A and B are shown apart, each in its own frame.
Chain A
Amino acid sequence: MTDPTPTASSPLLAVRGLSKAFLGVQALDGVDFTVRHGEIHALLGENGAGKSTLIKTLTGVYQRDAGTVTLEGRTIAPRGVEEAQRLHIGTVYQEVNLLPNLSVAENLFLGRQPMRFGMRFGLVDRGAMRRRARAVLIPYGLTLDVTAPLGRFSVATQQIVAIARAVDMSAKVLILDEPTASLDAQEVAVLFKVMRTLRSRGIGIVFVTHFLDQVYALCDRITVLRNGRLVGERRTAELPRLDLVAMMLGRELEAAAHRIAPPVDDAEEDARPPLVRFRGYGKARSVEPFDLAIRPGEVVGLAGLLGSGRTETARLVFGMDRADRGEAAVDGQAVRLRGPRDAIRLGFGFCPEDRKKEGIVGALSVRENIILALQARQGWLRPIPRRRQEEIADRFIRLLDIRTPHAEQPIQLLSGGNQQKALLARWLATEPRLLILDEPTRGIDVGAHAEIIRLIERLCADGMALLVVSSELEEIVAYSRRVVVLRDRRHVAELRGGEVAVDRIVAAIASESVPVEPRP
């Protein structure tokens, strides 16, 4: 719809034959990438496709080995973020890189504050800074106290401030690296509006995301990378979803990912003794009391909106938060969960949502990360022999197809999906009876996504019980035998067997005429 003369108009940003290698690994191999004036261009690819490397080369974090980058016909080679910004390339990252302790106005104008009494030795004109900050934010629909610390506002607001800063610093190319990953639906809508406005002003936007819906809702063109090479550039309108996924994966996505769990005889199932049973279990200001039973070989999904109490339920079950009412039983025996140590001893495992903060230990090797939970359960006084550690690590690297050069690689150097798999391996190594997965597919690409879903199915076929939290309803429906639906920190429905379907979950969330959106 934009870009009326696709071939005649000279591109805004043209990357040709870009190559970059790290220690012999070819991260980018002769990649072409073109951004035109006034377009939103999706940059897609699996983990390790080279998206991050391409972006970091454009923004001056890395220096290219070969190839050319031209901006409006001029060859550029930024040596740092600051220089890239001067060359009109602005970047906004998923984790907002602004300063929460400074005011909104200071964040917008840091390093380029309006001055009085001379530029060099003058004083910052704070009044002018406030006025200009308000003016800058108006087109984004933000009217807020620009003197308040940025950290007081939601991530979405902070992200828009980051965009406003980048654009106000005369960005012609704006790179948005997974900006929607931590936003809720309403916030995403606001961000999209901003992006469309910027597009109409002629800015070229590079949009990196894992959400295919968002690509189709917003983007004019799509460039797909795979294993450091260009797969192709297409107009969104001319690229069906199935073809896009095939481009990203280099193969057809297996239908297994969207198969409904096989129907089971509910009466017979319910007669089986549960592995764990919670009665009236809850915690004030966290989750209302709930009943929950999980049987061996069963996947129970926890569905609900962000903040509905899904993660809180998972944390209670694992003992990370202590319940203040209700009782828990494992194999019919009453137990007390006073902390994760109790839970681990009972054979529970937990893969947290925020793997960077609560999961991986970045500087330790893949092997050390994998054996961590097993070692913790054995007690640190009985170290697992090195040979055994290596066997375990190598087995799971093979089993889960964790892409790492070797087991001794520091885990922080792996891509997100592979870190997630290593984290799974950590718990699988303890052979848990109940494994809790909080957002197992968050922030990982389509291919790894499908693999993790297949893995979940294989695990419960082996008799393990699974409790899975996910915001992806299709995903939950695909593998869960039962789905517990939460709303406003309360378990509101339990769907089983044939009832497990996306529309039923949505209906349960929306029932009782409670508005779906938590905020007006």
Chain B
Amino acid sequence: MIHRFLPLLVTSAVLVVGFLLCAAQFPAFASLRVVGNLLTDNAFLGITAVGMTFVILSGGIDLSVGAVIGFTTVLLAVLIEQGGWHPVSAFAAALAVAGGFGAAMGAVIHVFQMPPFIVTLAGMFVARGLGFVLSTDSIPINHPLYAELGDLALRFDGGGKLTLPALLMLGVVAAAVVCAHWTRFGANLYALGGNRQSAELMGVPVGRTTVAVYALSGLLAGLAGIVFSLYTGAGYSLAATGVELDTITAVVIGGTQLTGGYGYVIGTFIGLLIQGLIQTYITFDGSLSSWWTKIAIGVLLFVFILLQKGLLAVWTGRGGTPAEA
């Protein structure tokens, strides 16, 4: 039992120890305000990373999510500011477009048996390009609802607050945990990531599941785009560049195997918090360049992958004696 949860435990331990170290150096660190900001600042990343976790669990990858976020923000800005749409209808339209885009990529992957890497790489270029077609400039969104939504938050004593983006992310993570472990769709994802052919022989609807998981990833990227536009108050086609890699990093640090079949949504959430923690630390320090975030995350990622490989070797290298019941 300990084997299965070990990567998760290690990730959690890194988060706790990291947080304690930060708090020891900067007493102001251990406040609800910092934690609340950490959640808000990383909300769009967290929502995207949930979709990415599902895709990776199923044995695939989705490189298009950053571009879809960028495209969504531009689409929202154009619809609201130039088209005069009400934000709520614009939200619905953006989610439908992003979800449909993901579903289309899933369909191509399944029907033509194409590698997800290539298909979603193409999707990344297409989405980024479409954003530029809509507008090359950053468009501010000035609708009053945006200001209202931006103010919406659960406030706590001492200045801490959970903003709408943070709440949305927590909701998505909770729903995803339930989806992964208490639904047939979740079981099918793990099955697909374990061995596609066996899953098919066991009656898993492979095509439907593949399309659904990329549609879900697209939909969540769309939602992340909405959150991002709320957060920045603008739509810009270059927004969220490289986010696909940040989310993959969160997934891997969270203990999910890139080859699929093993991992947990909650691990991704913790991986995300670790990244956010490093970023916050560097902000607190003030003297370090923000690029140290990337370096620290790079090193951490490397260490985690080594750790996983080590654990896997210990776990599967049982020598000549097969484990008996």
Q: How far is the CA of A126 from the CA of B181 in the complex (A)?
A: 9
Q: Contact check, A142 vs B203: say whether CB atoms are below 8 A apart.
A: no
Determine how close the nearest CB of chain A comes to the CB of B222; give it in whole angstroms: 22
Taken residue by residue from 169 to 197, chain B's Cβ proximity to chain A (1 for < 8 Å, 0 otherwise) reads as 00000000010011110111011011101
| Contact assessment for B322 and A155 in the assembled complex, using a CB-CB cutoff below 8 Å | yes
> Which residues 93-116 of A have a CB within 8 angstroms of B?
97-102, 106-107, 110-111, 113
Taking the complex as formed, is B262 at the interface, i.e. its CB lies under 8 A from any CB of chain A? yes
Q: Evaluate contact between B201 and A153: CB separation under 8 angstroms.
A: no
Chain A residues closer than 8 Å to B322, beta-carbon distance: 153-155
- Shortest B114–chain A CB gap in Å is 18
Least distance between A48 CB and chain B CB atoms (Å): 24
Cβ B1 vs Cβ A148 within 8 A? yes
Residues 136-160 (chain A) with a chain B CB within 8 angstroms:
142-145, 147-149, 151-155, 157
Chain A, Cβ-Cβ closest to B261? A101
Check B190–A101 contact: CB distance below 8 A: yes
Partner of B184, one of A113, A148, A157, A519: A113
Q: Is the CB of B190 within 8 A of A102?
A: yes
Contact A98–B198 (Cβ < 8 Å): yes
Query: Which of B4, B201, B324 meets A157, CB within 8 Å?
Result: B324
A124–B325 CB distance below 8 A: no
A89–chain B nearest beta-carbon distance, Å: 13
Which B residues touch A148, using CB under 8 A?
Answer: 1
The reply to whether A153 and B325 contact each other, CB–CB distance below 8 Å, is yes
Closest to B182 in A: A123
Task: Please state if A102 and B191 are interface contacts (CB–CB under 8 Å).
Answer: yes
B295 interfacial contact with A, CB 8 Å: no
Query: Given that A81-B201, A100-B194, A102-B194 are contacting pairs, would A143 and B184 also be in contact in the complex, using a CB cutoff of 8 Å?
Result: no
A312 and chain B: residue at smallest CB distance: B320
B35 CB-CB contact with A under 8 Å: no
Contacts of A463 in B (CB 8 A): none
Q: Does B204 contact A (CB under 8 A)?
A: yes
B108 contacts partner chain A, Cβ-Cβ < 8 Å: no
- Pair A102/B187 contact, Cβ less than 8 Å: yes
Is A82 part of the contact surface with B, judged by Cβ < 8 Å? yes
Q: With a CB–CB cut-off of 8 A, which chain B residues contact A151?
A: 316
Q: What chain A residues lie within 8 Å of B324 (beta carbons)?
A: 153-154, 157, 519
Interface membership of A280, Cβ < 8 A:
no
**Pairwise interchain contact A111-B204, C-beta atoms closer than 8 A:** yes
> With A97-B202, A142-B325 as given contacts, are A111 and B184 in contact (CB-CB < 8 Å)?
yes
Chain A's closest residue to B315 (CB) is A152
Q: Is A307 interfacial (CB-CB < 8 Å)? A: yes
Q: Determine whether A85 belongs to the interface, using a CB cutoff of 8 Å to chain B.
A: yes
| Pair B182/A99 contact, Cβ less than 8 Å | no
Residues of B within 8 A of A152 (CB): 323
> Taking the nearest CB of chain B, how far is it from the CB of A28, in angstroms?
22
Residue of A110, A124, A307 near B204 (CB, 8 A) is A110
How far, in Å, is B121 (CB) from chain A's closest CB?
25
Min CB gap B116→A, angstroms? 18
Instruction: Kindly list chain B residues whose C-beta atoms are within 8 Å of the C-beta of A107.
Output: 202
A98 adjacent to B181 (CB under 8 Å): no
- B residues 283-325 touching A (CB-CB < 8 Å): 316, 319-325
Q: Tell whether, in the assembled complex, residue B191 and residue A110 are in contact, meaning their CB atoms are under 8 Å apart.
A: yes
Pair B4/A149 contact, Cβ less than 8 Å? yes
A124 touches B323 (CB 8 A): no
Is B203 in contact with A85, judged by CB distance below 8 angstroms? Answer: yes
A-B contact pairs, 24 of them (CB 8 A): A85-B203, A98-B198, A99-B190, A99-B191, A99-B202, A100-B194, A101-B193, A101-B261, A102-B194, A106-B187, A110-B188, A110-B203, A111-B187, A111-B202, A111-B203, A113-B184, A124-B181, A124-B186, A126-B181, A152-B323, A153-B324, A157-B324, A307-B320, A519-B324
Which residues of A line the B interface, CB within 8 A? 81-82, 85, 97-102, 106-107, 110-111, 113, 123-124, 126, 142-145, 147-149, 151-155, 157, 165, 285, 307, 519
A sample of 15 more A-B contacts (CB under 8 A), given A110-B204, A307-B321, is A98-B198, A99-B261, A101-B194, A106-B191, A110-B191, A111-B187, A111-B202, A124-B181, A124-B184, A143-B325, A149-B4, A153-B322, A154-B323, A307-B320, A519-B324
